[in-house]
Chains A and B, each alone.
Chain A
Amino acid sequence: MTVIHAYGIVDAEAVEEIRVTGIGDTPVFYVVAGPVAAVVSQLDPERFSQEEWRRHAEDPAWLGQVASRHDAVLQAVAETTDVLPLRLPALYEDFADLEGALRADNDAYLAALDAVRDHLEWSVKIFTTTPAARLPEPLPASGRDYLARKSQAAGAKEEAARLRHGLVLDVHEALALSSTHASVNPVQDRALSGRDQPMLLNAAYLVPRAARDVFLSLCEELADRVYGDGLLLEVSGPWPAYNFAGGERGPGLPSDVASGAP
C-alpha cells in the first residue's frame, strides 16, 4: 500500500528542486496537476498507515515530531515560492487520487494562491511584562475606609486593564493597516505559551515579502511605544501563510483581542 502525504500547494511553474526531508526522512517532491502542484512525500506504509495515524492521534511525541516536520517542509518551500499550507494530515493512497482532487478544484487553489502571492505571514504577540500591581495595604482606619479602599483598588485595576486593552487594539490596528490581511487568534494561556505573563494578543499578519523590513521596523517602533506601559511585543516569522490559506477562519476582528483581565 502507498501512503502519500501532501504538505502544500504551489504554482506548477514554481516547481523547482527542493532540498528538505519530509516526515520520516522521506524525499520531498511535486505532483503536478494542471496549473498547480502539490508538495508531497511518500511515507513508509508501515510507520504511517491510516491505522498508525489514528493510533497516534493522541500521542504528543509522535504528533509533535510529525507536525514540526510538516512545518519545516512548508517553511523551506516558502523561502523561494508562495505556498498554500495543507492541514495535517493530508493523506492519499495513490497519486491519481491526489492529482484528481487537485484538478477538480484547480480554480479555487489558484485563487487562494493569488491571495497570498508574494506574501508571508508574521506572528505578533503581546504579553504583559509585570504581574498585576499589588497596592500597599496599611491597616484601614474603619470598615468604611476599608470598603472605599477596596473599591478604589478595583477601579485602578480596571483602569489599567482598560488602558492595556486600548494599547493592544492600537497596535493591532497599526499592524493591520500596514499589512494586507490580519487574523486575530485566541490568546494562548499560560499552559500553551509556557509563559508566566498573560498573553493579550495572538495575531498573524500577511505581509508582502518586499515589505518585510518596513513591517519589522513598525513592530520595533510599536514595541518601544508600549513597553513603558507594561506590554511586551514579540514577533516571529516569517511563516508560510497558514492563517491566510483560506482555511476555516476569516480575517480577525479586533473584538477578539483579550482584555488582559486575570
Chain B
Amino acid sequence: MNGNHGEGSDALTRSGRPPAYVGVRPQGQSLADVLERVLDKGIVIVGDIQVRLLDIELLTIKLRLMISSVERAQEMGINWWESDPFVSSLAPEDEEQHTELQKRVEALEERLSEVGELPASKQSESAR
C-alpha cells in the first residue's frame, strides 16, 4: 500500500477492477453522503434554537432535479456541486429519470404533509 488513494487514476488494479476508492476527502464524497451526515447525524445541544429542516431524501432528490439542468444551476450561481463526482456525472439527466424523480418528490411531499412533518409553506418550484 503506497497510501496514494487519490481519485483520477485510470489504472486498473491487478484483478482488473477499477480502483476501490471514490477518493480521499474533501473531493471524493457525494452530496447524498454529506446530507445524510450533516442533517441526520451529529449531536444536538440542548438549548439551541430548533429549526426543522427538510427530509433528507426529499432534499437530495430535489437537489438532483434542480441541478439536472446545468445551465439553470449556473444561472443561480451554484457550482459547489461541480466537484461532486456523482452529481456531475448525473447532469444533465435523461428525460425518463427526470420524470421518475419528480414523481418521487410528489409522493414524498404527500407522505410528509400527511404526517404533518413538512413546514407549512408553498411547494417549491421544482416539485411542480
Contacts and interface: CB of A to CB of B under 8 A. Distances in A.
Whether chain B is bound by chain A comes out as yes
Interface of A: 6, 8-9, 50, 53-55, 57-61, 63-65, 67-68, 70-72, 75, 84-93, 97-98, 100-102, 104-105, 112, 123, 185, 188, 191-195, 213, 216-217, 219-220, 223-224, 227-228, 232-239, 242-243, 245-249
B32 A58 contact: no
Interface of B: 1, 3, 5, 13-18, 20-26, 28-49, 51-54, 57, 59-64, 66, 73, 76, 78, 80-81, 86-87, 89-90, 100-101, 104, 118-119, 121, 124, 126
Given A63-B59, A242-B41, A191 B64 contact: yes
B20 A84 contact: no
Contacts, number: 207
Contacts of B16: 227
Given A64-B31, A101-B45, A191-B61, A223 B17 contact: yes
A102 B47 CA distance: 9
B62 A93 contact: no
Contacts of B60: 60, 191-192
B80 A90 contact: no
B59 A194 contact: no
A68 B43 contact: no
Contacts of B87: 194
Given A60-B126, A194-B86, A88 B38 contact: yes
Contact of A243 (B18, B37, B104, B118): B37
13 contacts: A6-B48, A9-B43, A53-B53, A55-B121, A58-B62, A61-B78, A63-B59, A123-B29, A191-B61, A191-B64, A224-B14, A236-B30, A238-B25
A219 B3 CA distance: 12
B36 A86 contact: no
B44 A123 contact: no
B25 A237 contact: yes
Closest 7 CB pairs of A and B: A223-B20, A227-B17, A242-B37, A101-B47, A85-B42, A194-B86, A60-B63
A195 B73 CA distance: 21
B26 to A, nearest CB: 5
B90 A87 contact: no
B22 A234 contact: yes
Contacts of B21: 216, 219, 234-236
Contacts of A217: 1
Contact of B45 (A6, A59, A70): A6
B62 A60 contact: yes
A84 B41 CA distance: 10
Given A60-B63, A188-B32, A92 B48 contact: yes
Given A191-B61, A192-B57, 15 more contacts: A58-B124, A60-B66, A65-B80, A71-B38, A86-B42, A87-B39, A87-B42, A188-B32, A191-B57, A213-B1, A216-B5, A227-B16, A234-B22, A245-B41, A249-B41
